[in-house]
């Protein structure tokens, strides 16, 4: 769809929400999110309307800063609206769009913290905008660190289009679901049974029942928009993937990460956390916990490893590998992740890194 049509559709979708009702209810969380979306849409609409006009460097810089910041605020407002209307972000999955995952890094690099790219790693890299490359549609910037210089080319039009595609899907879903709660008794009972059955293979039958029921209730649901479907897809992916060689630890690790996803599915469907864990994690968890406690500098950056697209992912992963060289258990764990990295299995990298992220 043409970007101008996407902008107009966004405007129409925002206007579908009855602001007067929320004003009468004094529901300021919904009103604040809707206004943020309205205002940022005006910024983005102005950009699209004037995209082909000649601009001097001052105007281009103002446009770039305004667009990156407005897109960042827009995404934040979508999540705020989701929480305000349906109590969670389970119907949004914007990060599954590759361009949207890149947005937060581009924004932080260029207009957020260019002079100190990652404070927690004490200035690991610095970013320089190539002003000569700047046009209304594209720009280039450099990431300089001890590793060298990384050049990033950005298509701003593609970034804006990707936002509108995801935002319009999200707004349409939220409007339709605003008065519907997915946490009905039937789904909760199925989810509870699934948790109790694991690791018995029968949990898969129950999970598939939940999947069928969910699609019947939300007929046009997509994994990119519904968090339950995304988690279901992850469990399916974890079960299907075959490592080249898998040890006892590898089999236990697979079981552990599946259970983590099942707990998340239960929480998505019920709005509650698992209060009594019947399943016990294997010994890898103890080893990871000791490893993180011993290396507190790594604890500060472990969340990076859950995002394969993060600019510092490989640098951070290699730090963990180096620190774990005298720890056979953690090294074996990281070797499984390394195989997934080399296979470019971004979703599985995320799933297999969650146990590390969960360490205190």
For 219-249, the pLDDT digits (tens) are 666 655 678 889 999 999 999 999 999 999 9
**Exposure pattern of 190-229 as b/e (b: 16+ CB <10 Å)?**
bbbbbbebbeeeebbebbeebbeebeeebeeeeebbbbbb
Arithmetic mean of pLDDT, 189-208:
93
pLDDT of residue 179 exceeding 60, the answer is no
pLDDT at 119: 42
253-278: average pLDDT: 86
Please give the pLDDT value at position 272: 75
Confidence tier at 333 by pLDDT (50, 70, 90): very high
Residue 307 has pLDDT above 70, yes or no: yes
Q: Which single residue is written with the structure tokens 């102005």?
A: 46
pLDDT recorded at residue 74? 93
Least confident of 3-7, 20-24, 239-243: 20-24
To the question of pTM greater than 0.75 for the whole model, the response is no
Structure tokens at 99: 């361009």
Token duo for residue 90: 């389970």
User: What's the half-sphere exposure (Cβ side, CA atoms, 13 Å) at 7?
Assistant: 17
DSSP label at residue 112: I
CA separation for the pair 12, 244 (Å, rounded): 51
User: Quick one: tokens of 60?
Assistant: 């281009």
Q: What is the pLDDT of residue 325?
A: 93
**Is 279 within 8 Å of 249 (Cβ atoms)?**
no
User: pLDDT over 90 for what percent of the chain?
Assistant: 51
d(CA 268, CA 191): 10
pLDDT-based confidence at 182, cuts 50/70/90?
A: very low
Residue 79 has pLDDT above 70, yes or no: yes
Residue 304 CB-half CA count within 13 A: 20
Across the range 178-206, mean pLDDT stands at 81
Collapsed DSSP state (helix, strand, coil) of residue 128: strand
What does the block give as tokens for 338?
A: 């390394």
Query: What confidence score (pLDDT) does residue 223 get?
Result: 58
Range with the poorest average pLDDT among 69-73, 187-191, 232-236, 258-262: 187-191
| pLDDT value, residue 55 | 94
**CA distances to 100, 131, 193 from 48, in Å:** 18, 21, 50
Q: How confident is the model at residue 21 (pLDDT cuts 50, 70, 90)?
A: confident
- Average pLDDT in the 155-169 region? 91
What is the tens place of the pLDDT at every residue in 104-136?
Answer: 888 888 888 777 666 444 556 788 899 999 999
């Amino acid at each position: 769809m043409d970007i101008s049509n996407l902008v107009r559709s966004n405007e129409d979708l925002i206007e579908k929400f009855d602001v007067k009702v929320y004003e009468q209810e004094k529901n300021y969380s919904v009103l604040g999110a809707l206004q943020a979306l309205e205002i940022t849409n005006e910024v983005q609409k102005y950009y699209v309307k004037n995209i082909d006009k000649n601009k001097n460097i001052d105007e281009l810089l103002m446009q770039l800063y305004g667009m990156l910041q407005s897109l960042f605020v827009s995404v934040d407002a979508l999540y705020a609206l989701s929480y305000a209307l349906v109590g969670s972000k389970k119907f949004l999955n914007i990060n599954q769009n590759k361009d949207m995952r890149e947005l937060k890094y581009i924004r932080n690099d260029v207009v957020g913290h260019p002079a100190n790219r990652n404070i927690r790693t004490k200035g690991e890299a610095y970013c320089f905008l190539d002003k000569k490359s700047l046009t209304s549609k594209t720009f280039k910037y450099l990431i300089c660190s001890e590793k060298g210089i990384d050049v990033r080319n950005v298509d701003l039009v593609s970034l804006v289009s990707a936002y509108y595609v995801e935002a319009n899907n999200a707004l349409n879903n939220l409007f339709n679901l605003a008065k519907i709660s997915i946490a009905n008794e039937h789904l909760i009972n199925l989810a509870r049974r699934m948790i109790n059955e694991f690791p018995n293979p029968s949990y898969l039958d129950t999970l598939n029942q939940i999947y069928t029921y969910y699609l019947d209730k939300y007929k046009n649901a997509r994994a990119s928009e519904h968090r339950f479907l995304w988690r279901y897809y992850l469990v399916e992916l974890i079960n299907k993937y075959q490592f080249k060689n898998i040890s006892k630890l590898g089999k236990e690790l697979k079981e552990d990460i599946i259970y983590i996803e099942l707990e998340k599915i239960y929480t998505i469907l019920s709005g509650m956390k698992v209060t009594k864990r019947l399943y016990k994690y294997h010994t890898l968890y103890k080893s990871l916990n000791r490893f993180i406690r011993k290396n507190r500098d790594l604890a500060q950056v472990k969340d990076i490893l859950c995002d394969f697209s993060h600019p510092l992912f490989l640098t951070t992963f290699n730090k963990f590998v180096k620190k774990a060289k005298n720890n056979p258990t953690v090294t074996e764990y990281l070797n499984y992740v390394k195989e997934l990295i080399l296979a470019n299995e971004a979703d599985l990298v995320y799933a297999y890194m969650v146990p590390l992220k969960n360490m205190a």
